[in-house]
Amino acid sequence: MDIDLWTEKYRARTLKEVLGQAASIESLSKFVENKTVPHCLFAGPPGTGKTTAAMAMARDLFQDSFERNFMELNASDERGIDVVRNQIKRFARTQPSENAPFKILVLDEADHLTSDAQHALRRTMETYASSCRVILICNYSSRIIPPIQSRCAIFKFTRLSDEAIMGRLEHICRSEEIEIEKEALSAILYLSGGDMRASINLLQAASSSAGKITEEMVYSISGKANPRLIKGMLKLALEGEYMDSIAEMKNLLYKQGVAPIDLVRQIHRELMKSDIPLQQRILILEKMADAEFRISEGANGEIQLTSLIVNMHGL
């Protein structure tokens, strides 16, 4: 099975199956019961169920007529004013079929729409509100113009809980007959950071290898470092064992293939969970911010990380 197909295969089909967004789902369920869905704006991090919630609500509402009364567009593919004037307007102006109260248009990644396109969309939402309701989905609601925001019911989606993701991953493992270690599941939770889509893709990639899925396999496939190695490297640097810490850093960069920018961000994550004195942590974070900026601007990653390591002990 190709990568990313599990994401679609195990997508929740009804609102009852959508995980982790209790407050939002309760409100959407009320919309379905009353058959009065307003224009909506779903905002939040990727992989938290925004598109799934919109599709599940439409399925609950339309039942058998779902295919005829629902359309999904991705604004990052076509982001200009023409897509609003043509595709969106054409769909919005036609009447719903099979006695449906209205149609639903989902516009994914709406924060990629140009300003002109958003102003044209505002007018379309106004004119055809009786026949079509629009659900805008974005990562950053601040990129949607205020006139559109004022016409929408805004739902903020947050990162999913570890329990919600763990339950879904265990369900997939049972369905696909995958043998996986508990430590490997914990590693997927650590790497996905509340992103359901990322966690499913990691599980699918790891399952392509023969045998039982292990923790080491998950970190190897993800291109990220095991947090235990990061903690060991930090400990050596803070104790003044610079050469040993640098050797561990080079091992992560060149033998395990961790990108320098990812390594800096993982160091930051582990540093924030450590018991290092606050004042020292603040000084290290300042150095880390400089290193991250320089690496992102094209500076040599090994040199910047070496400088960060040798500066940790004296701060």
Q: Which two tokens stand for residue 167?
A: 């339950």
Helix (H) or strand (E) holding 137: strand 132-138
Cα 108 from Cα 271, distance rounded (Å): 35
pLDDT at position 315: 62
Choose the final residue of a domain: 156, 182, 212: 156
45 and 75 share one domain: yes
Here the CATH number for the domain that contains residue 286 is 1.20.272.10
56 and 134 share one domain: yes
Q: Which two tokens stand for residue 163?
A: 């329990």
Kindly list the strands in the beta sheet with 132-138, ordered across the sheet, starting from the edge strand earlier in the chain.
70-74, 103-108, 132-138, 40-43, 153-156
pLDDT digit string, tens, across residues 54-77: 999 999 999 889 999 999 888 766
pLDDT at position 1: 44
pLDDT digit string, tens, across residues 265-284: 999 999 998 888 899 899 99
DSSP structural state of residue 274 = S
Helix (H) or strand (E) holding 128: none
Which residue carries 């991953």 as its tokens?
A: 169
Choose the final residue of a domain: 156, 176, 209: 156
Closest of 178, 259, 258 to residue 220, by C-alpha: 258
Here the CATH number for the domain that contains residue 197 is 1.10.8.60
Cα 227 from Cα 238, distance rounded (Å): 16
Residues of the chain with pLDDT under 50: 1-3
**3-class DSSP assignment, residue 213:** strand
User: Which residues make Cβ contacts (< 8 Å) with residue 281, sequence separation at least 6?
Assistant: 271, 272, 274
pLDDT at position 139: 92
pLDDT at position 210: 67
Q: Which residues form the domain of 293? A: 227-312
Choose the final residue of a domain: 222, 237, 257: 222
Amino acid letter for position 159: R
pLDDT at position 21: 55
Q: Find out whether 308 and 287 touch, Cβ atoms under 8 Å.
A: yes
- As for how many domains the chain has, the answer is 3
Here the CATH number for the domain that contains residue 51 is 3.40.50.300
Decide the pairing of beta strands 40-43 and 70-74. Answer: unpaired
